[in-house]
Amino acid sequence: MSQQHTLNRPIESTPDDSLLGKVTLYPESYQPDVLFPIPRQPNREKLPVPLNGVALGVDWWHVFEVSWLSATGKPMVAIARLAFPANSPCIIESKSLKLYFNSLNFKTFDSAVALADLIVSDLSPVAGAKVGCDILPVDALLPVSIQQWQPASLCLDDFEPAIPYSWNQSIPADTLLGSASHTTENQPEEYWYYSHLLRSQCPVTGQPDWGTLQIRIQGVAPDPAALLAYVLSYRQHQDFHEHCVESIFADLWTILQPEKLMVSANYTRRGGLDINPCRVSHLDWLPPPMRLSRQ
């Protein structure tokens, strides 16, 4: 390993201090110290609304390259589903997580349960909150389409953006959201939207991140063309997956002022990982974790 990090590193660590974008050797022995935290709070301080008082949610990660040794020395493979609570002080940088899972490839476990217990005990102190971990068979995550899961959802990609956007725009434009029609208090209506056109960039490497965005909203009817223009304004924006979803949630909550809101994104796989942040205003709107067809 070209560089080591320890679990007691200062909370002020930045992505530039991580292994992201650096040449590294893949570990062949157990190395939990490679895990690298990214604090959530610096990003949240930039949002138009204090997210900690509004949004709840989970960041679901699917780790497709999980392997360890059985008690007899036989290699085993599986998929891990991780659940990071949105109120955890930190996210974990993805390359460090990939290196961590690779460090388990030659470690012996009596069972998948023992593996999951170790993963939870290693990840939770770094995230600052209890992390969930399920070890799943490699064929357990059957992909679904948006229309299979939510048939009434409206695809924003079928519209033309309401306002032209600039390819060189690096800061998302919340002004593109325009206005929304409010429904009556006695009969608040509910709307579902999705777009496969979400694109942002890694804040360290500049690599593109692709995802499917889902929005569930109650009390207001946003203009689909305006929503699409807003989604497209993220194409050159550099930020982590979780931060993008939180920014979208905060803008929709502040500008459209709905009664209830859910924003989630299913990002496509990179390096054996896919990341699926979800933020909700009410816990009863938290959807189940899923794997979309494009992932």
CA angle, 249 then 251 then 255, to 5°:
125
| 289 vs 8: CA distance, rounded Å | 31
Tokens 């490839």 sit on residue: 105
Per annotation, catalytic residue among 33, 59, 122, 202? 202
Backbone angles phi, psi at 264, to 5 degrees: -140, 160
Sign (positive or negative) of CA dihedral 120, 102, 68, 7 = negative
Amino acid making up residue 81: R
Q: Using the 8-state DSSP alphabet, how is residue 127 labeled? A: H
**N-terminal to C-terminal alpha carbon distance within the chain:** 30
CA distance 161 to 158: 10
Which neighbouring-strand residues pair with 59?
Answer: 84, 277
The per-residue DSSP string of 171-184 comes to S--GGGG--EEEPP
Could you tell me which of 44, 22, 63 has the C-alpha nearest to residue 275? 63
Residues with Cβ within 8 Å of residue 188, at least 6 apart in sequence? 218, 219, 259
Annotated active-site residue in 209, 239, 251, 274: 209
**β-strand partners of 222:** 180
Active site residue 278: no
Q: What's the rounded Cα separation, in Å, for the pair 218 and 77? A: 42
Counted residue by residue, the chain has a size of 295
- Give the DSSP letter of residue 12: T
Is 17 an annotated catalytic residue?
A: no
Q: Catalytic site residues?
A: 202, 209
